[in-house]
Amino acid sequence: MKKSALLAMAAGVSFGLAGGPLRAAPSIPAFYENAAKIKPDGELGQIVSEAEIATPVAGARAWRIAYVSSDVAGRKTLSTGLVVAPAGAPPAGGRPIMAWAHGTTGSAQNCGPSQVTNPAQDLNEYFLMDGDSWTDYGLPGLRALIDEGYVVVGTDYQGLGGGGRHQYAVAATQARDVIDSIRAVRSMKAAGAGGKAIVYGWSQGGGATLAAASLPDYIAKAGPASEPVEVVGFVGLAPFDLAGMAAGKALDPSAADKAMGGLAAGFSDNIFNFTHFAMAIWGTRAAFPELDLNDVFTDEGVRALDRVFSNKCMHAGADTLNYAYGAQFRSLLNPAVRNAEAWIRALVRGSVAPVKPVAPVVIYWGTKDTVVPPVMGKLYQEQMCKLGGNVERVQLPGEQTHFSTPGAAAPLFLPWVKDRFAGKPAANGCPAN
């Protein structure tokens, strides 16, 4: 078939995708539909809705919750999530809290992991052979954490069930959702949570974990929604950190053009990576509405991506773009990014702040991770160690991929977590100069 015919075919398919009315209201369960109608006018961490649900974990109880949070710009938001706690009376002082920050699931209202049928169980990954759903859901190490007597809370993040447009990959917003989930579970009498917490997260959620570690003022915010919480550690599983890549580098129009061009090109090697990149730009625009998606994408690209990301989760969205555009997906990008300096500044602002972590951080990474470059964790460690932080990086045994990282890391981070809750000081993880 001639190239001209192929292009005509691609144009015809893309016209069909972009045409018609935008439907930004995917079907969601009643709990989330009702939660999305609630105005987030309360205190940070205030629970505005909760419902007990079943869990297959023996000796545990579980709830869906909706609670008040805020974003990188300080705007109040509503987030939903999942809480799992041991049954029975808590010990004196309450139970330690493990706050989970999940990896990429998508950007539409129906992409929150707590919405999946029977979500209160161990992490179940779409890509792995024993995955049993169209998305990732669950809480890593849940059974072991419940056996240790911990309460586990997993936020869905804003925009994934509680209304509003999801600020995908804006780690500074997702970090606030995680911190406020700790406040929320601390206020739940039935969960029996105490005053100490650890944040653990993977991929997108790994970025949220690192970002939360550098938000001391936000963690310390006081309010009537819950008692104060001390965060004693952070566990990053293959964490995403764009700010670390830019640390110490001068930003001018030329450097910004090069950086944005490199991001667009680097994430356009296949449709899966392109979907991540495009969704991150879409999510950044949600956080910083002064930006213009037409700086990065063509008119057709803006229409198509808005329709896909408003209605579909990650893997379905990638499949749709692959079906509609195939090898022509790069045609959705402008030849060069306009206003690159503003975009880079927004991406950095939405990432990890250059502030010493409030508690020890440990990062687990695999040598075969081609989704989040392990160098991101290395640069983060270098940056934060210079600021006086305690950051350890642990290379996982074998040849672990991005998707095998949570399972491979669990036997290693569980003892680390136990030591932090026991008050044992963490060894200095920073490399010797």
Closest CA to 361 of 200, 123, 195: 200
CA distance 266 to 383: 23
CA distance 428 to 361: 10
pLDDT at 338: 96
Q: Inform me whether the pLDDT recorded for 288 exceeds 50.
A: yes
Pairwise pLDDT comparison (147 vs 15), residue with the higher score: 147
Q: What average pLDDT does the segment 243-249 reach?
A: 78
Measured on CA atoms in the order 199, 203, 205, 208, is the torsion positive or negative? positive
pLDDT at 238: 98
CA distance 433 to 431: 6
How much of the chain exceeds pLDDT 70, in percent? 93
State how beta strands 230-237 and 361-365 pair.
parallel
CA–CA distance from 145 to each of 165, 296, 344, 389 (Å)? 32, 43, 39, 27
Could you read off the pLDDT of 371-390 as tens digits, one per residue? Answer: 999 999 999 999 999 999 99
CA distance 225 to 416: 30
DSSP state, 129?
T
CA distance 9 to 12: 5
Could you read off the pLDDT of 173-219 as tens digits, one per residue? Answer: 999 999 999 999 999 999 999 999 999 999 999 999 999 999 999 99
Could you read off the pLDDT of 126-179 as tens digits, one per residue? Answer: 999 999 999 999 999 999 999 999 999 999 999 999 999 999 999 999 999 999
pLDDT at 226: 62
Q: Inform me whether the pLDDT recorded for 102 exceeds 80.
A: yes
Q: Inform me whether the pLDDT recorded for 91 exceeds 70.
A: yes
HSE (side-chain half, CA atoms, 13 Å) at 345: 11
Q: What average pLDDT does the segment 65-87 reach?
A: 98
Domains and CATH numbers, the chain: 30-241+355-421 (3.40.50.1820), 252-348 (no CATH)
Element (H, E) at 315: helix 314-325
> Is pTM beyond 0.85 here?
yes
Q: Inform me whether the pLDDT recorded for 45 exceeds 60.
A: yes
Of 83-92, 113-122, 249-258, least confident by mean pLDDT is 249-258
CA 178 from chain centre, in angstroms, equals 9
Asked if 231 and 197 count as a contact pair (C-beta separation under 8 A), the reply is yes
Closest CA to 307 of 293, 326, 288, 289: 293
Query: Helix, strand or coil for residue 405?
Result: helix
Residue 49: count other Cβ atoms within 10 Å of its Cβ.
16
